[in-house]
Each structure stands twice: as structure tokens, then as C-alpha cells.
Amino acid sequence: MRIIIKFLKSMLKKKSLECYVISHKPIILITYWFDFLKNQSEIFKTIPHNRNVYFLYQSGWYKDKRDVDKIQKEIAIFKNIYPKTKYIFLCNSIEENEFFLENDLTSIFCNQNAFIDEKRYKIKPKIKKKYDAIYLARITPFKRHELAIKVKNLLLIGSFTQNEEEHYQHIMKILPDAKWIEKVFSFRVAQYMNQAKVGLCLSAIEGAMFVSAEYLLSGIPIVSTISVGGRDALFNSRFVKIVKDNPEAVANGIEEMIKKDIDPEYIRSETIQRMKEHREKFINLIQEIYDKEMINRKFKDDWKKVFVHKMGLRCGVSFNTYKKKILKKGFIIRNLKLDYSV
């Protein structure tokens, strides 16, 4: 099974976008900062350098002050070589945004979880609740599965790398009664989330953690430890319990949320409302670029054509799907390239 999964991942990786085209006029691209650095040579070879090109960056993993200081120096080099390129960062937390602004970098607080397609995660009332809690997370140390050792009826979904094999064995040893599934395809995730009463978020630091929003869109409350990285941007204290970093607190938090018996539709609708607030920030940002470039168009009218799940990043959807939806004559996507021929 693991061999099949690796093969499918490799196939998807070959087809998935490293950046997504928001607009062809003006040229606006969105990508992860890490992916941009990894592919900068190819990207800079293929974008035009005689006109403004706007790069929007999602943070991915949490960026602290030292990270942002380093980014500021890298941006200064890029600006010197490619003066027509513009760099804008979409930060997952207010704190992260402040670090960028302090370094005179252009940024806004616009959480990446707002770009999850809510239609993929639905409440399924006919599905029986089989588990007290679900933790969908890679089996890796920073996810801190050990904090779930007091949870009685637990579903784990997550794979691990060869380097994480020893850690996986350790987690299976301390959580012998947990049901573990290595991989679930994305279109089946909500099916499993609806089998659980509570979703777990146990890391102390990472990025915005897409899964945290996926729990909420599936109508299940969350028990989370204190964290940095931005996953709390969509949280509401009525259906998210923040607990201390110990197994007893996690188990007690789960019991408390189960007893509350919160309406799943309420959880979902409130989460979507918060997502819309961040989407509105994004729409306003693009409109500012349109206005600056004297483009007589309203981006809010383009939004439905532009919006795709996670903005097309790292989610293994073929190029042609996106090209049909947004790319105009002159753009051809080949592998990592954006060939601008007009």
C-alpha cells in the first residue's frame, strides 16, 4: 500500500502547480515562499522583466523575527536584480504580519485556511460517531501525538517518512488502542472526520494547519494546545477548547467538548463567515493592484473564476483544469514554467 501511495504522490507532484496565476493582466502569481525559493531560477527565467509582476507569498510554516530578517535580505537582492517584481506576503497570524511590517516588507494578515474550498468538507448527519476524537496529522515529532495517550477512543490518520519510522513505532507503542489509517484521499477526509466527535490540534508550532479548518467545516469542535503559526485565526471559543500541553488536559478537553453537544451547522457557518473575512482582505488586495495598474476591472467579479481549493498550491490538480478556468491567451503552463508570449 505504501508503495502505491508513494507512486501516486510522485505522479501528483509532477502535475501540481508550484504557483497559481491570479491574473494575467496585470501578472499576479501566488505561491509558497519555500516553493518560490526552490524554483526561483525557473520562475525568473520565464516571467517578463519589462513590466510589473506581482508575487503573493503564503507563509506556510510560521515565520519568526529571525526568519523575516532573512527574507528581507533575500527580497533586497531580488529587487536589485529584478526591479519590476513586487513582493507581497500573506501572513497567517497578526504577530507574523507585524514581523514583516517591521522589516518594511509589504504584507497583510490573510490566513491561508480561508482558501480551503468549503464544498469539499460537509456535515454528514447520517454517519455514526465511532470515535471520541480524530487526529489527522503526519506521524512526526512536532505533531506531539503523545499528548493523546489518555484519549480512550481515538482515530489517527497520517503517514510518515522513512526517517520517521522509529518515531512511528514509538507512537504506535504508546497508543496501542488507537485506530490508525496511513492515508485517506482528500475526497474521503470529511467522511472520516464525521465519524469523530472532536478534532485534535496538538502541535506547539507549525503553520496555519489546514486540518484545523477542515475539522470545523465538517462540523466537529476542536481541542487544541496553545500554538503559534496561525491556526487559531478561524477559532471561536464556543467550539474550540485551548488546553495545556499535557495528556490529562487534552482528554478533559475532549470530554468537555463532547458534553457541550454543539450544533455542527453552527460550527461550520461561523467558520465560513471568518473565512469570508480573510477572502475579502485578499479581494481588496488584488483590487488595489488592479487600481494601481489602471485596470478597469473589479476583482470581486473575477473571484469565482479565480478561486480554487488552496489556490491550487500543493494539492495535485492538473494544469489543464486551471488553464481552462483562468489563463488567457499568451500563457502556457509547462511544468514549473509560466511562458509569457505576448
Domains of the chain: 2-115+275-340 (no CATH), 118-271 (3.40.50.2000)
Give yes or no for a cis peptide into 26 (omega within 30° of 0).
yes
3-class DSSP string for the chain: CHHHHHHHHHHHHHHCECEEEEEECCEEEEEEHHHHHHCHHHHHHHCCCCCCEEEEEECCCCCCHHHHHHHHHHHHHHHHHCCCEEEEEEECCHHHHHHHHHCCCEEEECCHHHHCCHHHCCCCCCCCCCEEEEEECCCCHHHCHHHHCCCCCEEEECCCCHHHHHHHHHHHHHCCCCEEECCCCHHHHHHHHCCEEEEEECCCECCCCHHHHHHHHCCCCEEEECCECCHHHHCCCCCEEEECCCHHHHHHHHHHHHHHCCCHHHHHHHHHHHHHHHHHHHHHHHHHHHHHCCCCCCHHHHHHHHCCHHHHECCCCCHHHHHHHCCCCCEEEECCEEEECC
pLDDT of residue 186: 86
pLDDT of residue 321: 45
pLDDT of residue 115: 98
pLDDT of residue 313: 86
- pLDDT block averages, 10 residues each, the chain of length 342: 46 56 92 92 87 96 97 97 97 98 98 97 96 98 99 97 97 98 92 98 98 98 98 98 99 98 98 99 98 96 92 63 40 36 26
What is this structure's pTM? 0.88
Please answer whether residues 230 and 253 qualify as being in contact, where contact means their C-beta atoms are separated by less than 8 angstroms: no
Residue whose cell numbers read 506581482: 54
Residues 6 or more apart whose CB falls under 8 angstroms from that of 297 comprise 290
pLDDT of residue 116: 97
Residue 66, phi then psi, degrees to nearest 5: -65, -40
pLDDT of residue 316: 54
Q: Look up residue 150 and give its three cell numbers.
A: 489518555
pLDDT of residue 19: 85
pLDDT of residue 110: 99
pLDDT of residue 16: 42
- Cα separation, 16 vs 31, whole angstroms: 12
